[in-house]
Amino acid sequence: MELTEVSRRLLRENMGLNPGETLLVLYDETTLRIGESLFEAGVALGAQAVALRMPVLSRNGEEPFPIVSGAMAASDVVVAATATSLTHTQARKNACKAGARVATMPRITEDMFFNGPVTADYNVVMELTRKVAACLDAAGTAELRSGGCVLTMSLEGRRGIVSGGIYRGKGESGNLPTGEAYIAPIEGTAEGEAVIDGSFAGLGILREPLKLTFEKGLMVRAEGADAERLMAMLGGNSAARNLAELGVGTNDKARVTGVILEDEKIYGTVHIALGSNDTFGGTVAAGIHVDGIITRPELSLDGRVLVKDGKVLI
């Protein structure tokens, strides 16, 4: 199967691209062939397709140039195959507000196109993701156990978000490939410790588990071989230490690759993120959003176990 053939399927089945709609493809030097294939697939499907090559941005959650933001808001469908994530940016949020359907593909690889999470049955992924999001939506508290540590947080009043890979409705968005349900915990409520043993955005596959300590919603200490790299990435920005997200992976085809786009979607894993959450129900705009993957967690919502031993118990 050629790249363009996979791109055509994603645009048609996942994004619901129709003839005559405007399609904006964003890509950079890391995704040249993928960007071109998405553009060519859009033309083949009869869309008014435009491909815009961006410079590589410095971090996940960094805002693109205003000309890019404007083009996103003026399009029916936006696919961002870029080195860093535009998911948690005002540009993405404003594009959706204007009615665009947006798929973000941070650090997408050609291997993912032909193997792994892209090959999943997205009807199955969507069904499970909706159920998990409903559990997050209904919960008041969460307790996450990992590596002998416990992290608690409040979810009271926050909405569970579905990223099931099908974005055919006006203003819908998410990663592609995908498979996760996630939520923004209440700021200031995270207390305890979490052990990240898979990978971390911006760091890749971890050399050893990374232990994070939280007090009053902020990460106050990192321990492990990659701790200094993490702290350097966060810099002096206190908002970057906010516990921004709690998520559950729901894609049974996803693998540990060191690319967060895929890793955080692995069925039966849990991820937490630091930094911004204002684009999905939180109040913090940090200009950065980075996720860490826990491969064998136990997650309980209001005392009921949802994830354990690599399984989602629904």
229 and 293 belong to one structural domain: yes
In which band, very low, low, confident or very high, does the pLDDT at 166 lie, cut at 50, 70 and 90?
very high
Sheet of 48-53, strand order? 48-53, 22-27, 77-81, 101-104, 173-175
Q: Measured between alpha carbons, how far is residue 29 from residues 68, 151, 201 in Å?
A: 16, 39, 19
- Last residue of some domain: 88, 114, 140? 114
75 and 187 belong to one structural domain: no
Question: How far apart are alpha carbons 164 and 117 in whole angstroms?
Answer: 11
256 and 160 belong to one structural domain: yes
pLDDT at 231 > cutoff 90: yes
101 and 178 belong to one structural domain: no
pLDDT of residue 50: 98
Question: How far apart are alpha carbons 159 and 177 in whole angstroms?
Answer: 22
- Last residue of some domain: 91, 114, 137? 114
143 and 92 belong to one structural domain: no
89 and 123 belong to one structural domain: no
265 and 158 belong to one structural domain: yes
109 and 224 belong to one structural domain: no
Query: The CATH number of the domain where 22 resides is what?
Result: 3.40.1830.10
Strand partners, 293: 271
70 and 123 belong to one structural domain: no
DSSP 18: -
Share of the chain above pLDDT 90, in %: 97
* Confidence (pTM): 0.87
The answer to whether 137 touches 161, Cβ cutoff 8 Å, is: no
Burial class (CB in 10 A: 0-12, 13-18, 19+), 102: buried
pLDDT of residue 279: 93
User: Residues 6 or more apart from 151 whose CB is under 8 A from it?
Assistant: 143, 144, 190, 191, 192, 193, 194, 214, 272
pLDDT at 1 > cutoff 80: no
Dump pLDDT digits (tens) for 203-228: 999 999 999 999 999 999 999 999 99
- For residues 179-204, average pLDDT: 97
48 and 136 belong to one structural domain: no
Which residues span the domain enclosing 11?
3-114
Backbone angles phi and psi of 53, in degrees to 5: -90, 125
95 and 152 belong to one structural domain: no
206 and 261 belong to one structural domain: yes
Share of the chain above pLDDT 70, in %: 100
**Domains in the chain, number:** 2
- Last residue of some domain: 80, 99, 114? 114
Is it true that the peptide bond before 177 is cis, omega within 30 degrees of 0?
Answer: yes
Backbone angles phi and psi of 34, in degrees to 5: -65, -45
